[in-house]
Amino acid sequence: MRLVLGFLAALLTTSALTPTASASPAESRPTYSYADAIRETAWVETGTDNDHDGRPDRIAADVIRPDARVRVPVILDVSPYYACCGRGNESQKKTYAPDGTPQQFPLFYDNYFVPRGYAVVLADVGGTNRSSGCFDDVASGIAVVNWLNGRAKAFDAPDGGRPVSAAWATGDVGAIGKSQDGAAAIGMAASGVAGLKTIVPIEGVADNYAQVIGNGAPFATPENTGSPFTYNERAAELCRPFDAEQKARAGTNGDYNAYWESVNYVPRAGQASVFIAQGFGDWVVAPNQFARYWDALGRAGVPRKAWLSQAGHTDPFDLQRAQWVETLHRWFDRWLLGLRNGIEREAAVHLETAPDRWTDVRSWPPATVPATFRPASDGTLGLRGSGTATVADDPAVTREQWAAGVSAAKFTGAPLPAPVRIAGSPSVTITAASDKTAARLGVALVDYGPAELRNTAEYGSGVKNLATRSCWGSSTGGDSACFLDTVADVVGVDHRIVAAGWADLGHHASLRHGEPLVPGRPYTMTFALTALDHVVPAGHRLGLLLGGTDGLLFDPALPDFGETLTFDLARMSVTVGLTKPEH
């Protein structure tokens, strides 16, 4: 740890960049009436019959568009949550007039963008809300994009009905959404569907395998995976065979197979420009999803922009509301209306370094110096490892309890003489033996020391609602543009887990083929931890935790292996990227 000063001395002294003014003041203006906007539903055929009812599946696409004789681009949010769970910090759901005409469109996109010459389309994933079919979010979104470009059929009723045209659409589409909605947008972009010009995934999944399996270790039983809880009553019955088929393709052994390869969109990043948002405190969709996708976009030369916060699973609308709306407005103007406002030449990354402290930088991750630390049997973390550590796995114990030394081996370094920023994707190499034929591993990187941080431990969002409201666009009696204001939810802590990773030791040789362990035989495995961008203040200690099953993440219904792990500390290491904190 004494080398930290040496690392800092070797780092570049690049300073943060300030936002660049737009090259052109051109922007869309609120010239159309929101109250008079056309509200309608089109049921779009996907060309499949996933629910096996003998009829083509139809996706319910609720449309709101200016009542004007102009063709307009579309902002599209494909979601399974419009009926079951809602969207935004107020869990807004779609509402409908007695005749079925959509009234409330959740979130602010319709209120703000329709008066500015955009249509907003909120599509129900197959089998959810008013759609038929089964859960296939990417195919649902692709069908809607195809309809908007004249390549798919749609009707004015869920069954039968008259054909509905999208002649009012330019065919240019931007897909947006948080969580599962963001995953759909990423998958649509990977498909190369023509007409999709940009996507704005917020806390979205790019690699579905990594979302539900940690390096060979499934986080849940097959019965508790997928999204059946979002199904409408009809799909809950008809989609059982479809869901069973998908689960059979995915397998239950944690192997990375052809199914998981088909839903890993990282290698196919390309086509559409991307404006992505991610919280480094998000344990629902961990930031390694962002980091791998962001790197792939860079390699593919895709125009990209990112908002990176220290919050949890939350929308930037609830972090810096005015700036987010303005930036999103300019992004859609650039890629859907073709207005040359210069946003693609500005600093690519808007980064929160501490609660409500933001800076703009050209790239992420920053240039770093790799530093490798090793644990020792005396509980220290330094440059040399030695001895062994033994951990009895207890699936009821969480990683937060590990940080206190419960059912985990804990190692800490010396107090840092100066603040240091750890950024990027750390990796860990583990050598361990199990006394059973199977074993789960858990690793966490910890900042030990007092701090005031966003409350993201145990899946906290890091924000909280206020009683006041602010308005973003136009309202009607059925759809208000005014939303509860938010503020950072800050708590005092004595430690913070800043990165973590999980694995099945039986997949030490390959993620594609796990194998039973020989009890007592040591195995070596290297895997990445979740991405981070965190400043460790002077006087704090960097810690490493070695455990088994993480009770915060793994489904309690999973088999309890009851293993005892013996770690060979001399053959273990964690590597992080160090740089100077942003000023």
For helices 137-148 and 180-191, give the axis angle rounded to 10 degrees. 60
Contacts of 103 (CB under 8 A, 6+ apart): 39, 95, 96, 97, 476, 478, 479
Residue type at 358 in one-letter notation: W
Catalytic residue among 137, 282, 315, 318: 282
C-alpha of 86 from chain center = 17
Are the C-beta atoms of 276 and 316 separated by less than 8 Å? no
Q: How far apart are CA 429 and CA 550, in angstroms?
A: 18
Catalytic residue among 28, 131, 179, 425: 179
Determine whether 475 is an active site residue.
no
Q: How far apart are CA 422 and CA 131, in angstroms?
A: 45
Q: How far apart are CA 110 and CA 331, in angstroms?
A: 16
Cα–Cα distances (Å) from 408 to 313, 401, 494, in that order, read 27, 8, 18
**Helix (H) or strand (E) run with residue 7 in it:** helix 4-10
Cα–Cα distances (Å) from 253 to 4, 506, 551, 562, 564, in that order, read 41, 10, 20, 18, 21
Determine whether 540 is an active site residue.
no
How is 489-552 classified by DSSP, letter by letter?
-EEEEEEEEEEEEEEEGGGSS-SS------TT-EEEEEEEPPPEEEEE-TT-EEEEEEES--TT
Question: Six-digit token pair at 577?
Answer: 């990227």
| Torsion of Cα atoms, 550 then 552 then 556 then 559, to 10° | -20
Determine whether 583 is an active site residue.
no
**Which residues does the annotation mark as catalytic?**
179, 282, 313
